[in-house]
């Protein structure tokens, strides 16, 4: 009996100890841990599509070989301002120019995707996007291999440029521009400023010569008509359609993989009608996209000018076109150009009301002049306001806002500017990166009344 009682006591004691052992240990006790130091500098590598827009309204190109500094505030930065140094990783799309190769005029011709825009700055605003994947677009006969810019400032090796051996047509002088004075922007000779034109249908096929002629008839009072390349026979088709009205053309090459071959294509397409050519543009936002270094780009511009001055009949301006920020950071672009050709869109600034677009552009021109120290005329070669798309801060798309924006631009810039764009570009791909506005920059009231 005693033995059984003792055994029961032992079993009870063991059971009680197991219950005690199973209890949470100091459940209200906070385990001691070393506090993590608060970072002053945060490096961000963002694989989610994000668009960085600087205070000048230019989207910062993620492929450009440079580091940007931005300021992040709010909960994402632990409710405090944190200086963030980041190499942009996301992709964007905001430029409007296809790659260039002359093509037969047919409905089956295809064009490449529009290229994105932009620039670096010490101040940026993040705009989230839903996808960083670029649209799959059929390529032209030009190589689709991406250009990898060299980090070296050494000038690119330039091949000797030879003339075509076939008999060339008698070249007409660009004397209608008068005696061109380098550093100035020639008068367009029309009642309205310049305007951008793209010869593509909504299905991305090339417009026929007749379709181009019908378009040009609607914008004949704008001069020059800015082109971006030589594909779809656009150079010869637009010159032929514009010539009866006395409207000038801003001819262009786009492919910086093989600029000298493309320049020969342009010369052949002009076919001696140089009196219709206002300016020859070499590339578009080449440095901004990191396609070439500024020194390489300047070398290409200068060599193209030498070729155009070598007896083909052209005596007008030759320019490289880039964003305001790219030009301010790389004065070589301005130095190599006969006048300073810069793209700028107040809508993408996020801090500009539509009615203040013109004064904002004036401020950007003053900034370029001060930074580059140039006496050359500074011309806005691409600017406008969308009629549809997402709201970007103070930038609100709409027909009424486009009207007041264009009025302000024309009032401050006069005829020495190029409006973007003649018609809605339904062939483009809209994404969150373009705020849903990419297709809808066509000027609704071409009378500008």
Pick from 130, 55, 24, 161: nearest CA to 429? 130
- How would residue 432 be classed by pLDDT, with cut points 50, 70 and 90? confident
pLDDT of residue 24: 40
pLDDT of residue 433: 82
> Catalytic positions, please?
382
Q: Which CATH architecture has domain 169-434?
A: Alpha-Beta Barrel (3.20)
pLDDT of residue 58: 52
Give the pTM: 0.66
Q: Which two tokens stand for residue 164?
A: 């075509």
CA–CA gap between residue 430 and residue 193 (Å, rounded): 27
Q: What percent of the chain has pLDDT over 90?
A: 58
pLDDT, mean over the chain: 74
pLDDT in tens, 53-78: 554 455 555 444 443 333 333 333 33
**Residue 307 pLDDT > 80:** yes
pLDDT in tens, 88-101: 333 333 333 333 33
pLDDT of residue 363: 98
**Residue 402 pLDDT > 80:** yes
- How would residue 219 be classed by pLDDT, with cut points 50, 70 and 90? very high
CA–CA gap between residue 31 and residue 37 (Å, rounded): 18
Which phi and psi (to 5°) does residue 334 adopt? -65, -40
Mean pLDDT of the 372-400 span: 98
pLDDT of residue 142: 29
**Residue 253 pLDDT > 90:** yes
More confident residue, 103 or 385: 385
Q: What percent of the chain has pLDDT over 70?
A: 60
More confident residue, 391 or 153: 391
Pick from 340, 385, 337: nearest CA to 364? 340
Per mean pLDDT, which range of 35-49, 277-291, 384-398 is the poorest? 35-49
More confident residue, 384 or 121: 384
């Amino acid at each position: 009996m005693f033995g059984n009682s003792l055994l029961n006591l032992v079993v009870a004691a063991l059971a009680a100890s197991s219950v005690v052992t199973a209890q949470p240990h100091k459940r209200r006790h906070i385990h001691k841990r070393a506090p993590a130091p608060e970072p002053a500098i945060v490096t961000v590598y963002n694989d989610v599509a994000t668009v960085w827009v600087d205070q000048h309204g230019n989207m910062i190109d993620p492929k450009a070989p440079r580091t940007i500094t931005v300021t992040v505030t709010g909960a994402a930065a632990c409710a405090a301002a944190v200086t963030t140094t980041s190499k942009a990783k996301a992709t964007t799309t905001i430029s409007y120019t296809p790659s260039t190769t002359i093509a037969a005029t047919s409905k089956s011709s295809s064009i490449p995707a529009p290229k994105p825009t932009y620039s670096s700055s010490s101040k940026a605003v993040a705009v989230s996007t839903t996808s960083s994947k670029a649209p799959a677009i059929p390529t032209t006969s030009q190589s689709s291999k991406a250009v990898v810019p060299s980090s070296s400032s050494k000038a690119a090796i330039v091949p000797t440029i030879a003339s075509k051996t076939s008999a060339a047509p008698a070249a007409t002088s660009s004397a209608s521009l008068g005696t061109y004075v380098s550093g100035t922007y020639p008068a367009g000779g029309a009642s309205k400023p310049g305007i951008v034109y793209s010869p593509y249908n909504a299905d991305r096929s090339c417009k026929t010569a007749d379709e181009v002629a019908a378009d040009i008839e609607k914008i004949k009072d704008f001069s020059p008509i800015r082109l971006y390349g030589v594909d779809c026979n656009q150079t010869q088709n637009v010159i032929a359609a514009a010539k009866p009205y006395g409207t000038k053309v801003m001819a262009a090459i786009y492919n910086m993989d093989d600029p000298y071959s493309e320049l020969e294509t342009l010369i052949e397409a002009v076919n001696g009608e140089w009196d219709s050519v206002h300016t020859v543009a070499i590339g578009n936002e080449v440095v901004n996209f990191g396609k070439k270094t500024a020194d390489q780009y300047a070398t290409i511009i200068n060599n193209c000018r030498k070729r155009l001055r070598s007896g083909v009949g052209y005596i007008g301006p030759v320019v490289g076109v880039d964003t305001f920020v790219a030009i301010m950071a790389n004065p070589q672009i301005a130095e190599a150009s006969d006048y300073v050709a810069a793209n700028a869109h107040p809508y993408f600034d996020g801090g500009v009301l539509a009615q203040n677009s013109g004064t904002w552009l004036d401020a950007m021109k003053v900034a370029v002049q001060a930074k580059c120290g140039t006496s050359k005329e500074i011309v806005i070669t691409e600017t406008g306001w969308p009629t549809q798309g997402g709201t970007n801060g103070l930038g609100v798309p709409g027909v009424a806002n486009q009207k007041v924006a264009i009025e302000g631009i024309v009032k401050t810039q006069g005829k020495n500017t190029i409006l973007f764009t003649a018609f809605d570009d339904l062939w483009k791909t809209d994404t969150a990166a373009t705020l849903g506005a990419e297709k809808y920059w066509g000027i609704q009231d071409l009378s500008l009344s």
